[in-house]
């Protein structure tokens, strides 16, 4: 999936690729051909602060938007991570095929945990996964990532009923109610302002729920070991707009 952009990057020349690999990355190490073969080590992960990891992902999204993706040596990264992983962050994102977190944050193998469910809401399984990622595996940042024109939120806005989806869409009731207080009708999926407000409200709700429903995560946040951030990815531009950042 990265090929078109990676090819575009090659046109810039080897010097640009070395730059893409080097200064903005926390775990920068380049192969002889300018490819990025490094992975996050236990020591590197331990040395990172939550703010540094957040800056790293923001820089990665900027590279993605600019068509300046890192030239990862995935085979080398597979070999380097076979015996362990020390990811920097855990991202909870939507199922949507157009929002692959590793690509839009320009991350390699072993860099980030990713949990995905339509509409990027938390539940006990996602909370347990985020607790593992942070308290057990050492990740420093939790990212709740929504996106524009989210089909799950739009489906909830229209009251779609289909098998198990009917119950799943109940997860967005609170976000839809919040959006109704700040936008005017009609309250359906065709109202972009309403849907946009619900998408942001859903990210904010999920951020709050993570802290209120997981004492494991709340304690790490209070101790400054972990940070919870939220953003909304724009399908048209590839850019993530961060909430309260």
Binding site for Zn ion (CB under 5 A): 94, 96, 150, 152
Q: What is the smallest separation between the CB atom of 69 and Zn ion, expressed in angstroms?
A: 23
Nearer to Zn ion, 57 or 150 (CB): 150
Nearer to Zn ion, 73 or 96 (CB): 96
**Alpha carbon distance 173, 152 (integer Å):** 12
Q: What is the smallest separation between the CB atom of 143 and Zn ion, expressed in angstroms?
A: 15
**Alpha carbon distance 5, 135 (integer Å):** 35
Nearer to Zn ion, 150 or 226 (CB): 150
Q: What is the smallest separation between the CB atom of 149 and Zn ion, expressed in angstroms?
A: 8
Q: Strands, E, within the chain: which ranges?
A: 89-93, 112-116, 141-147, 227-233, 240-243
What token pair was written down for 207?
């951020």
Nearer to Zn ion, 63 or 154 (CB): 154
Q: What is the smallest separation between the CB atom of 194 and Zn ion, expressed in angstroms?
A: 16
240-to-39, 85, 208, 217, 233 alpha-carbon distances in Å: 24, 26, 19, 24, 4
């Amino acid at each position: 999936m990265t090929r078109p952009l990676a090819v575009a990057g090659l046109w810039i020349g080897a010097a640009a690729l070395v730059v893409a690999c080097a200064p903005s990355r926390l775990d920068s190490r380049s192969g002889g051909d300018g490819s990025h073969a490094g992975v996050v080590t236990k020591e590197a992960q331990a040395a990172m602060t939550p703010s540094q990891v957040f800056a790293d992902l923001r820089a990665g999204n900027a590279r993605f938007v600019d068509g300046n993706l890192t030239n990862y040596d995935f085979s080398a990264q597979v070999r380097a991570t076979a015996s362990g992983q020390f990811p920097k962050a855990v991202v909870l994102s939507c199922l949507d095929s157009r929002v692959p977190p590793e690509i839009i944050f320009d991350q390699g193998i072993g860099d980030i945990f990713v949990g995905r469910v339509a509409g990027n809401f938390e539940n006990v399984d996602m909370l347990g996964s985020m607790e593992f990622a942070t308290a057990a595996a050492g990740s420093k940042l939790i990212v709740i990532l929504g996106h524009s024109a989210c089909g799950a939120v739009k489906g909830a806005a229209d009251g779609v009923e289909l098998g198990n989806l009917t119950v799943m869409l109940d997860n967005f009731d609170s976000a839809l109610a919040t959006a109704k207080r700040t936008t005017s009708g009609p309250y359906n999926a065709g109202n972009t302002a309403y849907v946009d407000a619900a998408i942001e409200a859903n990210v904010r709700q999920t951020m709050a729920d993570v802290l209120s429903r997981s004492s494991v995560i709340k304690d790490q946040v209070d101790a400054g070991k972990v940070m919870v951030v939220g953003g909304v990815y724009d399908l048209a531009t590839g850019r993530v707009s961060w909430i309260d950042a």
